[in-house]
Structure 1
Amino acid sequence: MGDSPAARLQALFEGHRLTPTQRRIAHCMVRRAADAPFLSSVELAELAGVSQPSVTRFAVALGFDGYPALRRHLRDVAPAEAAEDTAANEYQQAVEAEIENLRHLAELLADPAPVERAGRLLAASRPLPVLGLRAAASQAYGFAYFAAKVHPDVRLLHEGGSMLTDRLDAAVRAGATALLCFALPRHPREVVDALAHARGAGLTVVTVADSAFAPVAAHSDVLLPAAVGTGLAFDTACAPMLLGRALLEAMCDALPDAQARLEEFDVGAAERGLFAE
């Protein structure tokens, strides 16, 4: 599988931060791996459903002078040949990449101290603001949904705009001491600005980000990295989601009444017939 044209192309694209349009081109090339070294920029643009200049920008994003240089490189390292029937398709490759991200996360969690410290910070903050915009909004929502079952005052901040700093200031006035932020690419500038504002207001910032070198790192007191998958048109975030759940567990461990709150919820849910099972 590792020597197939598709795998060689996939390896070429890995490690580059590509836009959704550029990923579409990359996926088209992986699907047409045997033909890719011989396609003109116009032909590739038509197959991918993008403009010809987008193909040129794609080649430059990969570090080449232009598309002709990329094509020459492909002819050298990925000669035309039929992909083996046993070669993994792009969906399988994306899953394998996420499995590798999870393995790396497991290695990082061999030292639980950073997550445990973050859990204590979040548990002690009343209220607890949870921030996540754009691609990270679903991660913030998921954390806030479960955290509200054990934490007395969780405030979800998943919409940007001029009200964001107002809501951060309101949380500080209400007694907040920490902020949890989920920050995933592409990183909105207003998230970076919001974290700078939060720290200036006295909040301790705990951030789950895709990398220790993410733009939010400079404004985070505790940064917990978990890589995203980049093999599909849009990032996959299995590792950040799982890290968020581990952080929830650590927060529960730091809340002495967490189990009692969960049991109280379960009793109420049963009385209301809230769930179908």
Structure 2
Amino acid sequence: MENAQDLIERLNHSGKKLSKSHRRIAECIVTHYDKVVFMTASKLGEYVGVSESTVVRFAAALGYSGYPQLQKALQELIRHRLTASQRFEMTSDMDHTQVLNKVLKADIQNIRSTLDDLDVNAFEDAIEKILSARSIYILGLRASAPVAEFFGHYLQFIFANVHVVTSGVSDIFEQLARIDQGDLLIGISFPRYTARSIEAMEFAHSKGAATIAITDGPMSPLHSTANTCLMAKSDMSSFVDSLTAPLSLINALIVALAQRRRHEVSEYFESMEKIWDQYSVYLSKSGE
């Protein structure tokens, strides 16, 4: 199936090939695709002045199995540019049970798609870059900040040279000021991408540091700024970013890295267990 931009291009040149009713739908999509993406087939038909079944037949005529597939193609076209309010509209008409099913099924599909499409060579290359880095910087801003914190938390069990860079009192460039050749910046960003994330990756590259991007696909602006790119699906169901697949990918990186540093990690945890017991960091098995 063509991508969404190709769809708009084809609709622009459809002309007399379409029936009068289908041409009205096509013109509406080309002109108002940012609104059509939130409409059901019934609402689109009402808006254009045709029946719901005509809208469904129009989608089929374009080669889609149904209207939801056409709608998904339009969502792909605009998802990088959606405002928070527009993203919220994607689930505003659903009841709670529908929301539960849609969100969980979307997360499951994101993980499946990530696994199916993952570049194993890029995954292995990322592991080697992390293992060989003198200092590891992990960048995540706004919604990606908790993902960076999670990654950094566990990498600190494996490496002593981990720095998590998130928005805060200190400007990110101050936090990256000492990055240099031999160091590594891992940039994490998903739609809507932050300008600072791209600038930070470019800054690290200018300093001679290696760069890894964890993002959603080849159209991401981070893709071109990184030496290695790991892609995880993050299709959203609302204004909330779906970061389930990125977290699963990061979990896999952590486990693989720990295996490569098995002896050091084992010694570290033996030492930490004594400290945790001494200061009662965790509840005992008896709950005391």
TM-score over 0.5 for the alignment?
A: yes
Cα shift at 1:105: 1.9
On the 8 A contact 1:94/1:229 being kept in 2, the answer is: no
Q: Which residue of 1 aligns with 2:272?
A: 265
Is residue 81 of structure 2 the alignment partner of residue 108 of structure 1? no
Is residue 107 of structure 2 the alignment partner of residue 98 of structure 1? yes
On the 8 A contact 1:119/1:248 being kept in 2, the answer is: no
On the 8 A contact 2:182/2:210 being kept in 1, the answer is: no
Stretch moving more, 113-122 or 87-96? 87-96
Match of 2:157 among 125, 136, 149: 149
Q: Deviations over 1:216-243 (max 9, x none)?
A: 1111011000011311221111000111
Match of 2:259 among 253, 257, 267: 253
Return the letter of the residue paired with 2:274.
Answer: V
Q: Which residue of 1 aligns with 2:226?
A: 220
- Which whole-Å CA distance do the structure 2 matches of 1:130 and 1:234 have between them? 22
Q: Structure 1 unaligned runs (5+)?
A: 32-86
Q: Structure 2 unaligned runs (5+)?
A: 1-39, 44-65
Q: Which residue of 2 aligns with 1:21?
A: 85
Determine helix, strand or coil for the equivalent of 1:211: coil
- Which whole-Å CA distance do the structure 2 matches of 1:160 and 1:202 have between them? 25
On the 8 A contact 2:179/2:207 being kept in 1, the answer is: no
On the 8 A contact 1:123/1:251 being kept in 2, the answer is: yes
Q: Which residue of 2 aligns with 1:205?
A: 211
Q: Deviations over 1:156-191 (max 9, x none)?
A: 10116883223223132xx75211111122111111
Q: Alignment RMSD, CA only?
A: 2.9
On the 8 A contact 2:114/2:245 being kept in 1, the answer is: yes
Q: How does 1:29-44 map to 2 (within 5 A)?
A: 29-30=93-94
- Aligned CA distance change for structure 1 residues 105 and 266 (closer, same or farther; 3 Å): farther
Q: Which residue of 2 aligns with 1:60?
A: none
Match of 1:119 among 127, 130, 133: 127
- Aligned CA distance change for structure 1 residues 27 and 10 (closer, same or farther; 3 Å): farther
Stretch moving more, 264-273 or 121-130? 264-273
- Which whole-Å CA distance do the structure 2 matches of 1:126 and 1:249 have between them? 20
The total of aligned residue pairs comes to: 217
Return the letter of the residue paired with 2:171.
Answer: M
Q: Which residue of 2 aligns with 1:79?
A: none
On the 8 A contact 1:230/1:236 being kept in 2, the answer is: yes
Return the letter of the residue paired with 2:141.
Answer: L
Return the letter of the residue paired with 1:227.
Answer: K
Higher relative CO (Cα under 8 Å, sequence separation at least 6) belongs to 1
- Which whole-Å CA distance do the structure 1 matches of 2:88 and 2:151 have between them? 31
Cα shift at 1:153: 1.6
Stretch moving more, 227-236 or 131-140? 227-236
Determine helix, strand or coil for the equivalent of 2:91: helix
On the 8 A contact 1:131/1:140 being kept in 2, the answer is: yes
Q: How does 1:63-102 map to 2 (within 5 A)?
A: 89-102=98-111
Match of 2:141 among 112, 121, 133: 133
Is residue 231 of structure 2 the alignment partner of residue 231 of structure 1? no
Cα shift at 1:112: 3.4
- Aligned CA distance change for structure 1 residues 108 and 265 (closer, same or farther; 3 Å): farther
- Which whole-Å CA distance do the structure 2 matches of 1:91 and 1:187 have between them? 26
**Sequence identity of aligned pairs in percent?**
21
Q: How does 1:50-65 map to 2 (within 5 A)?
A: none
Runs of 4+ that moved beyond 6 A: 3-7
- Aligned CA distance change for structure 1 residues 5 and 212 (closer, same or farther; 3 Å): same
TM-score, normalised with respect to structure 2 = 0.67
- Which whole-Å CA distance do the structure 2 matches of 1:102 and 1:197 have between them? 31
